[in-house]
Chain A
Amino acid sequence: MANTLISDAPVIISMRGVTKTYPGVVALADADFDVRRGEIHGLVGKNGAGKSTLMGVLMGIRQPDAGVVTVDGSEIKHLTPQLMGNLGVAYVPQHVKMLNTLTVAENVLAGNLPKNGLGIVDWRAVYQDSQDRLGKLGLNIDVRKTVEGLSLAEQTMLAIAKALFSNARMIILDEPTAVLPRKDKNLLFGFVRSLKAQDVAFVYISHHLEEIFEICDRVTIMRDGRIIETRAVAEITVPELIRGMVGETVGEFQRDPSLTNEEVLRVDTLSRRGSYEEVSFSVRRGEVVGLCGLQGSGVGELAKALFGLERRGVGEVYIDGKPLTAETPREALDQGVAYLPDDRHKLGMVGLRPLRENVTYSVLERMTRGLGIVSRGTERPLVQGYIDKLGIVTPGQEQKANLLSGGNQQKVVFARLAATQPKVLMLHEPTQGVDVRAKVDIFNIVTDLSKQGVGIVIVSSEVRELVGLCDRILVMYQGKIIAEFTRANADMKPEDILLAIEGGAYAPAN
């Protein structure tokens, strides 16, 4: 069996006890990881599980705080990108960076074009050389084409080839298939397998679990900065893989349900080309609905569109039975829709400004006296009320928002949204970049708001958290809602939900 053969192959790179911390976060804890010659080693884990940090150490761009990295059995003391590159580590990102407007041949021979006696580039030799070199790797690409004229799969393969020309032995592929059509995927996989046969090793990062089974020999599962386990793919099942990624049991937090029968949000066959298709669902007052899906499934786009940050497309949306007409965030807020963005630094708050201003930005007209002057007498108590109620830890109202911790920043955004007294509140990755204690506080805020009758939609990839919080969870895949799990039916199991998120193939019939 192929796997037994692989397990005998010599280890190229190995890491033992590697730890990397950032202020307030342990990004990588005591990680053991190794790659053997000629193996395809899958690496899976949710966003923030530590995959990027692990690979960063391998590439020499992150300096570990502790631990040992060895290459071919000898310890490497000072990791630098140059050194790791010379030792044969290469990285191929999802979006390949090359000289896009130049030809394939020029990219292959970049910096080393054959010249004739007069120092003029000998183009015949350029095309011949590059064709030969790619041919040796079994890659058939028209070398006269420009790189931007290639398909994405061809670009990725060209990047792999280029890495090999600079003597790479271990290539990190970071979600290479996320944007590829199926037939291109096969092309890429074929190329990767043929290189594997020539003893090139790969680390294969992907969110699409079925690909791990299709192409990898071993798989390493990461969660919360730790390596959970490394197993031979032949000996592991999809549910096991998911359990490793998600953690053992269902989240500890359980929200008291507060749902009513009054519908507050109804989305009726809403479609936007390329993002989502005929999406219909409704949310009741006091209900918390989870919305899950991979990147590109349309969940994030849908939330932004409902808030007027992006085009909504065709179809109807009703808030309290009235059609939603908002084209801008201001109009959406006025019509009772609020949105907590996934990227609070970019969209959620104005970091340079004080906490006080950040809380009242969306309700300023309510506290403006004549001549447009903001009444501090109205503003201060309101802000203090939220600081107390949400437990925002801050030296005072004048603290600049970007000097607060992640959890407190998120609470400030919550305070701003709560102040608008929304009917529908959409939360986009509300616990991202937030420590465990603040997470529990945020769950409590969500519970409180739902008790006050707000209809809440949570777009999140933290399935475990959603299971504890939500009355219902909807799963989107390629723009469509493909599965629904409800607390009432007691079918909200993280493993099943994750299977559905991964794609139609594993979704339970519905």
Chain B
Amino acid sequence: MRQQIDWVGFVLNNFIWFVLLATLILFAIAIPDYFTFSNVVNILITASVLGVLVIGQSLVLIARKLDLSAEGTLSLVTVLAAYIMLPFRDFTAGQAGGNGWELNPVIVVPIILALGAFIGFINGVLIMQFKMNFFIVTLAMQLVLRGAALVISEGAIMPGTPDAFNWLGSGRLLDIIPVSVVTTLAMYLVFSYLMSSSRFGREVYAVGANEEAARAAGFNPTRTVIIVYTLSGLLAAFAGWMLLGRLTSSVPNLGAGYTLNVVAAAVIGGVSLKGGEGSIIGAFAGVLLLAMINNALNLMDVNPFWVNAVRGVIILIALIIDALKTRYKRRAPLVRPSASAPPLEPKRT
């Protein structure tokens, strides 16, 4: 028996790629200098940090949770890295140096990655072991992390991170290809394969789609979700490393408002807020679309006050598509077992 090709379903499931292509063509025609090598590289560079964060958030979303603390993790690790890496300098004109440890980047990078993973682990434990609400836990965690970043930096900008540290964010292979872009692409390939083909990926999807059934099938949702949050924290720290390397200065409020963009990119890319659905590659398309649109708005000299409004509209459109998808799927032939005995719901007493 051959499966009938479900065109509507196919288009809805891969909608993002059609949109991406259409947007690219539109911008390439409408905006001079849009489709040039240097601008495309530019788009990819700005997509990199966002992209790494989106991987982590997608894992969390597929597990039917949310991580609002990732941008806080990013903020804290950038401040901490600068603080323990830069030479001491007195606070002048809003700028300051580190605490004088002047640690080697080879030590600093593992420290911040471990810190990110640890923060994620704590999130996971609070949510699964202590049965706390993921929204509140990660929101509170975000406040804690941002607060800590402000305390450490005392609100100062810490400029001049060493080249070795900046390699990930600013380096170019063969002087052309940005390291950050290559790294991000590689991470997408790895996580995409992991989610589609590994036992861990199966668990994340199963837990996100139906936690109770996953448990009854022999999985350990508690462990799975804790790992997912740990990865999300680790990736946020990695994104922090990449971003600080690009800016070469730590700014205490770095990453403020990223969460919305990150979740938007994932959802635009087809990751469901209801868990268990979506792919890492799809999320990547969402990242590209957002980066392309941001870049176009820049090139077109759109009033920056409008940029957020446009973004908001795009996110709403993505959510509408998500809702349409759910509704379309519900219309698919479904034989409900309870049809013979629909629950009684008295409308009045």
Chain A positions near chain B (C-beta within 8 angstroms):
22-25, 27, 47-48, 50-53, 55-56, 59-62, 81-82, 85, 90-93, 97-98, 159, 162-163, 166, 174, 225, 307, 309, 328-330, 333, 339, 341, 344-353, 357, 361-362, 364-365, 368, 371-374, 376, 395-396, 399, 402-403, 405-406, 416, 420, 432-434
Complex Cα–Cα for A93 and B348 (A): 11
Question: B199 to A50, Cβ gap below 8 A?
Answer: no
Q: Are A174 and B349 CB-contacts (below 8 A) given A346-B212, A353-B209, A361-B202?
A: no
Q: Which one of B214, B215, B332, B347 lies within 8 Å of A403 (CB-CB)? A: B332
- Flag whether B327 is at the interface (Cβ < 8 A): no
Question: A27 to B340, Cβ gap below 8 A?
Answer: yes
Please give, as numbers and ranges, the residues of chain A lying within 8 Å of B277 by CB-CB distance: 352
- Among B320-334, those with CB < 8 Å from A are 332-334
- Flag whether B258 is at the interface (Cβ < 8 A): no
Complex Cα–Cα for A162 and B349 (A): 8
Chain B positions near chain A (C-beta within 8 angstroms):
1-4, 197-200, 202, 205-206, 209-210, 212-220, 276-277, 332-349
How would you classify the secondary structure of chain A's contact residues: helix, strand, loop or mixed?
Answer: mixed
Q: Which one of A50, A98, A345 lies within 8 Å of B349 (CB-CB)? A: A98
Q: Which one of B3, B333, B346 lies within 8 Å of A61 (CB-CB)? A: B346
Question: A24 to B218, Cβ gap below 8 A?
Answer: no
Please give, as numbers and ranges, the residues of chain B lying within 8 Å of A53 by CB-CB distance: 340-342
Please give, as numbers and ranges, the residues of chain A lying within 8 Å of B2 by CB-CB distance: 395
Complex Cα–Cα for A82 and B206 (A): 42
Question: A347 to B337, Cβ gap below 8 A?
Answer: no
Question: A163 to B219, Cβ gap below 8 A?
Answer: no
Number of A-B contacts (CB under 8 A): 163
Q: Which one of A82, A91, A97, A374 lies within 8 Å of B198 (CB-CB)? A: A374
Question: A374 to B199, Cβ gap below 8 A?
Answer: yes
Q: Are A23 and B218 CB-contacts (below 8 A) given A61-B346, A373-B197, A374-B197?
A: no
Most chain A CB atoms below 10 A, which of B1, B209, B215, B346: B346
- From B277, which residue of chain A is reached at the shortest CB distance? A352
Please give, as numbers and ranges, the residues of chain B lying within 8 Å of A362 by CB-CB distance: 217-218
Most chain B CB atoms below 10 A, which of A47, A81, A374: A374
Question: B337 to A62, Cβ gap below 8 A?
Answer: no
Q: Which one of A163, A350, A405, A433 lies within 8 Å of B214 (CB-CB)? A: A350
Please give, as numbers and ranges, the residues of chain A lying within 8 Å of B209 by CB-CB distance: 350-353
Question: B212 to A347, Cβ gap below 8 A?
Answer: yes
Question: B198 to A373, Cβ gap below 8 A?
Answer: yes
Question: A90 to B349, Cβ gap below 8 A?
Answer: yes
Q: List 23 A-B contacts (CB under 8 A).
A: A27-B341, A52-B343, A55-B344, A56-B344, A81-B346, A82-B348, A90-B349, A163-B349, A346-B212, A349-B210, A352-B277, A353-B206, A357-B206, A362-B218, A364-B199, A371-B198, A374-B199, A374-B202, A395-B3, A396-B3, A406-B336, A433-B338, A434-B337
Please give, as numbers and ranges, the residues of chain B lying within 8 Å of A91 by CB-CB distance: 344, 346, 348-349
Complex Cα–Cα for A309 and B213 (A): 11
Q: Are A23 and B339 CB-contacts (below 8 A) given A61-B347, A329-B217, A348-B213?
A: yes
